[in-house]
Structure 1
Amino acid sequence: FQAAGLPEYNGCYALVLDSLFSTEELSSFLAEAEVSSPWKVAQINAGTHEYTDTSYRNSDRIIYDSFELLDKIFVRIRPHLKEIEEFDGEAKQKWRMVRKNERLRSLRYPIGGYFKDHQDGKTKQRTFYTLQFYLPSDRQIRPDPRRGGTTRFLSWSSRPRHAHADLEAVPGWVLVFQHAKHLHTGAEVIGGVKCTMRSDMLYERVGLPVLVYSVPVRP
């Protein structure tokens, strides 16, 4: 991030994993989603409700739960993630990963598909990391090679936001990053079809917060 001109992300967690799953396994993730439900236009989460705005988010989505797939993914990915700490006000609270969220969101971006600047949402339980799986393209829809569709991390402060870091949507890669920290966008797909699957990790508190007191200095 420093080299890309995004110093505000120094110290933020972002990781790309490769070769955790075979092409056949990744294709099966997409097939399982399609069996569970038909594709629907992806909506935007406004907190209390969802709405459709294809000028801001233009893609299809399937939301479903799979504990079996959850277990398979969790076993593979857990060794690559570590415990994290955060400050919550004046209390230092440690959190431990307990499992992967069974709620899976499969996304399909045809030509012209995109998702403009956003942060990933939180679940009702405490989460810190987004898991973004880049899947093989759905060639039944369009056989062309995929072009475009990068995941672009943007600066919070630049106006306009010239500074950015791009990650190609390479099938087989898994992107892990702190969703509360990173402003990002799904760039427009200009060829083929981009398919992804998104979820997150769930954490629990470890021990009690450690209160940090400031001692006044006498003049």
Structure 2
Amino acid sequence: MANFLPAQAPPNAKVHFIDFPTTTPPIPEYKNLFAAVIDDLLTQQECDELIRLAEASTVTPNSPTPTWERAMINIGNGKQALATDTRNCGRIIYDAPEIADKLLQRLMPFLQKFEIDCLNNRTLVTGLVGRNKTYRLTRLNERLRFLKYEGGEYFRPHWDASYTTPDRSEKSFFTVHLYLNGEGEQDLEELKKASDSVASGDADGVNLDVGGKLLGGATSFIPRYEEQERQARVFPRVGSALVFQHENLLHSGDPVVRGTKFTLRTDVMYRCDS
């Protein structure tokens, strides 16, 4: 573990800010809201090792096969419920402070570039509770959520909620999604044809091969539930990270119609100065 995930990002890592008024299609409603992609933050080997570590955490002498539990949704007051009409995918919850610390070291130069290591009166990010307050980044949430989507699985449109620690000393304001596989941009005509077939219930010609090349599975930002056809999509690309604010950004995990999508989700945690 000592040599795993050194602090320095690969030399080819680069940043792409998502400017919602100029995306294709544009979403001017999200002007001044923050989202960015860091390409090549992790190597293929690092992504593979993260999946291996997560799966290994579920193995016991009595259960030697890795177990992906069904992901649940938050229903408030620290409780969760299974709701496959809203969220349908596999999940491994892996508490790993050392890995979270290593990921933060890798991410920190980019978070500083984004100017989100310190939030001063940033009410578009914090909500009105953060008016005239300063929050400083403390860590990444060590509760790493590994997600596995296959065979048409999805996460319907939702907002990410802030997590507050039990002692109320820290709170999250940004999501970090690490894509652990995928090749990035996809053939939109192929994707539409396959997605339409799945939506109609006609599986003829739809390749749900879980071992095939990933098709679908974008993280899609949408302006409202009633207008889901206007979406700014981020397609999974191995080693890339999507960082975005919890507040006000409605998004979905699009159905995976071929292949298997692996991601790691965590949160950026802050402490208020005042």
Bin of the TM-score, shorter chain as denominator length: 0.7 to 0.9
Q: Classify the secondary structure of the residue corresponding to 2:21.
A: coil
Distance 1:89 1:59, change over 3 A: closer
Match of 1:14 in 2: 35
Q: Deviations over 1:24-65 (max 9, x none)?
A: 111111111101122101111101321112122110001121
CA distance in 1, matches of 2:71, 2:147: 8
Instruction: Determine if the alignment matches structure 1 residue 2 to structure 2 residue 21.
Output: yes
1:109 maps to amino acid? Y
Partner of 1:44: 73
Letter in 1 for 2:136: R
* Counterpart in the other structure of 2:90: 60
- Aligned residue among 111, 123, 126 for 2:171: 126
Q: Among 206, 209, 215, which residue is 1:147 paired with?
A: 215
TM-score, normalisation: structure 2: 0.70
How many angstroms apart in 2 are the aligned matches of 1:179 and 1:159? 20
Number of aligned positions between the proteins: 203
Deviations 1:165-212 (A, max 9, x none): 011111111000001221000011010000100001111123x4xxxx
Bigger mean CA deviation after superposition, 187-196 or 74-83: 74-83
- Structure 1 stretches of at least 4 aligned residues deviating more than 4 Å after TM superposition: none
RMSD of aligned C-alpha atoms? 1.8
The secondary structure found in structure 2 opposite 1:180 is coil
Out of 188-197 and 122-131, give the one that drifted further. Answer: 122-131
Q: Is the 8 A contact 2:181 2:236 kept in 1?
A: no
**Any residues of structure 2 matched to 1:51-200 within 5 Å, and which?**
51-81=81-111, 82=115, 83-85=118-120, 86-87=122-123, 88=128, 91-124=131-164, 125-136=170-181, 142-156=210-224, 159-200=226-267
Aligned-partner residue type, residue 88 of structure 2:
N
Aligned position for 1:213: none
Are residues 89 and 100 of structure 1, via their aligned partners in 2, closer, same or farther at CA, if it must alter by over 3 Å? closer
Structure 1 or 2: more strand by fraction: 1
- CA drift of 1:70 comes to 1.0
Map Cα deviations across residues 129-186 of structure 1 (whole Å, 9 max, x no partner): 100000126xxx9321110111100103x73333210111111110000012210000
Structure 2 distance, partners of 1:166, 1:176, is 14
Distance 2:103 2:129 in 1: 33
Q: Displacement of 1:79 after TM fit?
A: 1.0
- Tell me the TM-score normalised to structure 1 length: 0.87
Question: In structure 1, what is the Cα distance between the partners aligned to 2:214 and 2:156?
Answer: 19
Identity %: 34
Following TM superposition, by how much is the alpha carbon of 1:91 offset from its aligned partner in structure 2, in angstroms? 3.7
Listed as ranges, the gaps of 5+ residues in structure 1 are: 209-219
Structure 2: runs of 5+ lacking an equivalent = 1-19, 59-66, 165-169, 183-208
- Work out the CA distance in 2 between the residues paired with 1:147 and 1:9: 27
User: Aligned equivalents of 1:181 and 1:91: distance in 2?
Assistant: 16
Determine the C-alpha separation between the residues in 1 that align with 2:131 and 2:39. 36
Greater RCO, 1 or 2 (C-alpha within 8 Å, sep 6+)? 1
Q: Which structure shows the bigger proportion of residues in helix conformation?
A: 2
Q: Distance in 1 between matches of 2:129 and 2:230?
A: 30
